[in-house]
Amino acid sequence: MLGRTLREVSAALKQGQITPTELCRKCLSLIQKTKFLNAYITVSEEVALKQAEESEKRYKKGQSLGDLDGIPIAVKDNFSTSGIETTCASNMLKGYVPPYNATVVQKLLDQGALLMGKTNLDEFAMGSGSTDGVFGPVKNPWSYSKQYREKKQQNPRGESEDSNWLITGGSSGGSAAAVSTFTCFAALGSDTGGSTRNPAAHCGLVGFKPSYGLVSRHGLIPLVNSMDVPGILTRYVDDTAIVLDILAGHDPKDSTTVQEPVKSFILPTLTDVSKLCIGIPKEYLVPELSSEVRSLWSKAADLFESEGAKVIEVSLPHTCYSIICYHVLCTSEVASNMARFDGLEYGHRCDINVSTEAMYAATRREGFNDVVRGRILSGNFFLLKENYENYFIKAQKVRRLIANDFVNVFNSGVDVLLTPTTLCEAVPYLEFIKEDNRTRSAQDDIFTQAVNMAGLPAVSIPVSLSSKGLPVGLQFIGRAFCDQQLLTVAKWFEKQVQFPVIQLPQLLDDCSLSLENEKLASVSLKQ
């Protein structure tokens, strides 16, 4: 039951094959079993059971609220949830209980979804590993999968099993691990430079970043306001579309959301791709790209071509300036956004009381980790009067050039761009922490952050398992506000590649979950 698509499980609920409470308990029990993954910061068990009870009453009366009624979901711990602690994985917000729901959370609850809990992340979503939060790193469920373990036994390197787990990617790693282990059917992530797509790629999930302005940011604790979007993580493209359909649209509380009414996002099934034009940006072929990912990328392009689509090489000439430009804009907004955490109104406050200034300094020192403090420091440097023109203004200009690169490509007739999501598959934690957060973010956001600077929709789709038995994702980038078209193409692709279901036999003894739908043979793109 847990491995099914959202629509399938929704049908099962309607037909009474399972009740919302039963479904909720199954997920809660899985959350317990997978606790060591550290996917959840807060498990809102009582809330979820209460919601399940309400949902059950509705189903009994035949008054279901829709496809999401009774469906377990999880929310990244940087979305405000009324009455439920919201920490951003930071000491600064430990114990902070928001008095209101983020608009996206409210919309899901209004549809009868069950909130299972708040998921782990890098502190204030600053990171690409989900390793730098105050509650500790998130472990990638694929570390424990049959697929990965079998491959590893073939090439034993004598590492101790316990210490050799893999990172999920980030910063929405908790949400990715939660969906990947079937503890929920969908999870909200946030995506500022790739934070939803990156862990989706590493955990074998669909990770969707909507067009900027399509989905409300009200209640999302900001990293970079001009790039943040709520992201959606699911196991299937159709599930993402169902969730997007609920979330999309104008929010009077977020002035940057679209004014015009949005159309339904429910996806048609594409049978013919011959009218599609797929662009392959040549600048994304970087030396650091692993040969395996490169080869899968190329095979995916071939797949489109063989099915009749037009596949062309395109150029996004300012790509190489993107990551440094992102760094300047990101840290500047971070410096500004983090200014409110002063210990006065909410959150952590130090014991020092010699002066207000001393209290601010100590509170912020104690409350933020090195990564956050480092970004605040650089951001404030870029915003200084003497530096503003040379850094911030220039970065804004470069941002425009990068956005124009995309506009030009799409104007030339390209419908969707196809790129890698990450340089390689998930790496072991011990490997990952050999480099600092800044270096890692610069590497890991390489294919993803330009999309945020341009405000475009993008989605990472799991393609195949690598030779190590780990998921590899590819990214599709669409025209602004052509989110439905993008997801339609992604859905077609998903069907072609038949990505295998994660097998967690030691963890999940529930056979109905891991074995149904199992299709180990990934047809066209198998290595």
CA atoms of 381 and 307, how far apart (whole Å): 52
Binding another protein by CB under 8 A: which of 46, 162, 288, 357?
Answer: 357
Q: For residue 171, is the peptide bond before it cis, meaning its omega torsion is within 30 degrees of 0?
A: yes
- Based on the shown chain and the rule CB under 8 A, indicate whether residue 360 belongs to the binding site for another protein: yes
CA atoms of 70 and 112, how far apart (whole Å): 6
Binding another protein by CB under 8 A: which of 199, 207, 343, 420?
Answer: 343
**CA dist 95 → 84, 347, 463 (Å):** 9, 7, 40
191 vs 333, beta carbon nearer another protein: 333
CA atoms of 512 and 522, how far apart (whole Å): 21
Within a 10 A sphere around the Cβ of 359, how many other Cβ atoms? 18
Binding another protein by CB under 8 A: which of 17, 32, 255, 390?
Answer: 255
Tally helices (H) and strands (E) across the chain: 19, 11
User: Which alpha helices (H) appear in 248-290, and where do they start and end?
Assistant: none
Residue 179 token pair: 């969906």
395 vs 451, beta carbon nearer another protein: 395
- From the list 17-25, 69-77, 252-260, 401-409, the region that binds another protein by CB under 8 A is 252-260
289 vs 328, beta carbon nearer another protein: 328
Q: Is 171 assigned a catalytic role?
A: yes
**Residue 307 contacts by C-beta under 8 Å, 6 or more apart in sequence?**
273, 274, 496
Residues 199/172, Cβ–Cβ less than 8 Å: yes
Q: What crossing angle do the helices spanning 394-411 and 322-337 adopt, rounded to 10°? A: 130
Minimum gap (Å) between residue 255 Cβ and another protein: 6
Distance between terminal CA atoms of the chain? 30
- Based on the shown chain and the rule CB under 8 A, indicate whether residue 335 belongs to the binding site for another protein: yes
CA atoms of 42 and 203, how far apart (whole Å): 21
Paired with 465 in beta bridges are 471
Residues 478/485, Cβ–Cβ less than 8 Å: yes
Selecting among 195, 322, 378, 464, the annotated active-site residue is 195
- Based on the shown chain and the rule CB under 8 A, indicate whether residue 79 belongs to the binding site for another protein: yes
CA atoms of 471 and 424, how far apart (whole Å): 10
Within a 10 A sphere around the Cβ of 479, how many other Cβ atoms? 20
Sign of the torsion formed by the C-alpha atoms of 377, 449, 172 and 263 = positive
Strand, coil or helix: 339: helix
Minimum gap (Å) between residue 494 Cβ and another protein: 32
Residue 302 token pair: 């071939």
One character per residue 371-390, x = contact with another protein (rule: CB under 8 A): ---------x--xxx--x--
- Based on the shown chain and the rule CB under 8 A, indicate whether residue 352 belongs to the binding site for another protein: yes
Minimum gap (Å) between residue 392 Cβ and another protein: 7
Residues 177/141, Cβ–Cβ less than 8 Å: yes
Binding another protein by CB under 8 A: which of 256, 290, 443, 524?
Answer: 256
364 vs 468, beta carbon nearer another protein: 364
Percentages (nearest 5) of helix, strand, coil residues in the chain: 45, 15, 45
- Based on the shown chain and the rule CB under 8 A, indicate whether residue 423 belongs to the binding site for another protein: no
- From the list 38-46, 160-168, 236-244, 351-359, the region that binds another protein by CB under 8 A is 351-359
Binding another protein by CB under 8 A: which of 38, 168, 331, 332?
Answer: 332
Minimum gap (Å) between residue 382 Cβ and another protein: 9
Binding another protein by CB under 8 A: which of 189, 222, 230, 471?
Answer: 222
Q: Is 76 assigned a catalytic role?
A: yes
285 vs 362, beta carbon nearer another protein: 362
One character per residue 93-122, x = contact with another protein (rule: CB under 8 A): x--x-xxx-x--------------------
CA atoms of 499 and 205, how far apart (whole Å): 9
- Based on the shown chain and the rule CB under 8 A, indicate whether residue 82 belongs to the binding site for another protein: no
Selecting among 80, 171, 172, 460, the annotated active-site residue is 171
- From the list 25-33, 51-59, 339-347, 441-449, the region that binds another protein by CB under 8 A is 339-347
Minimum gap (Å) between residue 525 Cβ and another protein: 39
154 vs 355, beta carbon nearer another protein: 355
Residue 13 token pair: 């609920």
Residues 69/57, Cβ–Cβ less than 8 Å: no
* Count of residues of this chain found to bind another protein when the rule CB under 8 A is applied: 56
Length of the chain: 527
Minimum gap (Å) between residue 251 Cβ and another protein: 9
Minimum gap (Å) between residue 393 Cβ and another protein: 10
Binding another protein by CB under 8 A: which of 26, 76, 217, 375?
Answer: 217
270 vs 350, beta carbon nearer another protein: 350
Residues of this chain that bind another protein (CB under 8 A): 79-80, 86, 88, 93, 96, 98-100, 102, 217-222, 224-226, 252-256, 259, 332-333, 335-336, 338-346, 349-360, 380, 383-385, 388, 392
Kindly list the catalytic residues.
76, 171, 195
